[in-house]
């Protein structure tokens, strides 16, 4: 089914083939898992004929799990042989002077140069094809994401009792990682947990430090789990000790913005409209300049993928699309707030996969 859709989308974009290397799209199309390493792995899917797989000999046993026929070309440990193998693999595919789609964010120069040396084709951005294919999730994918959300929520709840004045960010980040493993997440997390308190919370992508929690801090925890390859991505903000008036004000604004964003989605709604309705709450509250990023991003096999909830993105939401809603306010040198949920578009409207309370919880 996925390969049938791929062929249809390639035809619509006038692509003779699409080439993917080790990564989420390859896994999505084949069910096989390869990691990026010094040895290239490439699969070329033509509009007509069998796919061609180029991989090292040591990885060939993985092909026993492949559910479709393919032409297989393998190589040994001498890199000098790679070019010849790529040439042999592509010589009978009749792709010369035609368009081959690639993923600019994923394909490395290593694989790109080998492909160019093997066939005189026009290599173009194939992201629109693969993004359209992966953006709409099936029931099994949604179930995996729901499981990833549940693992993440349970892991954080198990971690929160350790949060108190005098504990540092690294301690909580380490404990959260441990709890994610205990509750069943795969070892490869979508990203390293962000634990940021006080002034560190004003940096949306802060790295956990040895700074100890202090009375009056707001604590941002941005974390996720992975189940069967699918990610969750959540954020909650907590108060440490006595929360001041400004902190409560910005928390309330972000709370309302998060709700507006979660309710804004629906079939046929533009991604930019979700961003607009979310951002409008914070702008009307007088803190628009401190909401410094888009409202959200698609999520699935990758933590960040299409569709993106941002200004200027007129892409329309469809049943089965999943994305984050994560408004924030970041006051330099003071504190930050972010509340993030994973949202699914259904025929009946948007549904949040995450259920952990969004009310301000006081810890420590």
Domain spans, the chain: 2-134, 136-363
Mean pLDDT of 282-307: 98
| Per-residue pLDDT, 44 | 98
| Per-residue pLDDT, 364 | 82
The CATH number given to 2-134 is 3.40.350.10
Tell whether the model's pLDDT for residue 15 goes beyond 90: yes
Is 155 strand, coil or helix?
helix
pLDDT digits (tens, 9 = 90+) for 131-166: 999 999 999 999 999 999 999 999 999 999 999 999
pLDDT digits (tens, 9 = 90+) for 215-261: 999 999 999 999 999 999 999 999 999 999 999 999 999 999 999 99
Q: Over the chain, what is the mean pLDDT?
A: 97
Beta strands per DSSP E along 143-277: 194-197, 218-223, 226-227, 230-231, 234-240
Tell whether the model's pLDDT for residue 302 goes beyond 90: yes
Q: Which two tokens stand for residue 244?
A: 């001041």
Query: How far is residue 39's CA from residue 34's CA, in Å, rounded to a whole number?
Result: 11
Domain 136-363 has CATH 3.40.50.720: no
| Per-residue pLDDT, 173 | 98
pTM, 2 dp: 0.94
| Per-residue pLDDT, 1 | 83
pLDDT digits (tens, 9 = 90+) for 55-92: 999 999 999 999 999 999 999 999 999 999 999 999 98
Q: Which two tokens stand for residue 313?
A: 């993105």
8 A C-beta contact, residue 309 and residue 297: yes
User: Burial code of 26-60, b = ≥16 C-beta within 10 A, e = fewer?
Assistant: bebbbebebeeeebbbbbbbbeeeebbbbbbeebe
């Amino acid at each position: 089914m996925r390969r049938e859709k791929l062929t249809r989308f390639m035809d619509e974009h006038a692509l003779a083939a699409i080439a993917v290397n080790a990564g989420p799209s390859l896994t999505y199309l084949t069910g096989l898992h390869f990691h990026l390493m010094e040895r290239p792995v490439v699969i070329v899917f033509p509009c007509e004929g069998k796919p061609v797989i180029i991989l090292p000999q040591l990885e060939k046993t993985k092909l026993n799990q492949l559910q479709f026929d393919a032409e297989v070309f393998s190589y040994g440990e001498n890199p000098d042989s790679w070019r010849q193998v790529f040439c042999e693999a592509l010589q009978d595919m009749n792709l010369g002077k035609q368009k081959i789609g690639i993923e600019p964010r994923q394909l490395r120069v290593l694989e790109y140069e080998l492909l160019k040396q093997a066939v005189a084709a026009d290599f173009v951005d194939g992201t629109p094809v693969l993004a359209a294919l992966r953006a709409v999730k099936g029931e099994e994918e949604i179930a995996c994401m729901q499981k990833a959300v549940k693992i993440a929520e349970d892991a954080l709840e198990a971690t929160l009792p350790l949060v108190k004045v005098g504990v540092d960010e690294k301690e909580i980040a380490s404990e959260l990682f441990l709890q994610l493993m205990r509750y069943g997440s795969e070892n490869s997390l979508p990203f390293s947990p962000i634990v940021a308190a006080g002034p560190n919370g004003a940096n949306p992508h802060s790295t956990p430090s040895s700074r100890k929690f202090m009375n009056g801090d707001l604590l941002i925890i941005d974390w996720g789990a992975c189940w069967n390859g699918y990610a969750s991505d959540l954020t909650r903000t907590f108060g440490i000790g006595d929360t001041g008036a400004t902190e409560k004000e910005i928390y309330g604004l972000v709370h309302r913005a998060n709700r507006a964003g979660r309710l804004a989605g629906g079939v046929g709604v533009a991604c930019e409209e979700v961003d607009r309705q979310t951002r409008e709450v914070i702008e009307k509250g007088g803190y628009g300049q401190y909401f410094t990023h888009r409202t959200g991003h698609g999520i699935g096999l990758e933590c960040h993928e299409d569709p993106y909830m941002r200004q200027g993105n007129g892409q329309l939401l469809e049943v089965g699309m999943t994305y984050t809603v994560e408004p924030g306010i970041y006051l330099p040198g003071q504190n930050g707030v972010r509340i993030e949920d994973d949202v699914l578009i259904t025929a009946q409207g948007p549904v949040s996969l995450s259920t952990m309370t969004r009310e301000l919880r006081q810890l420590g």
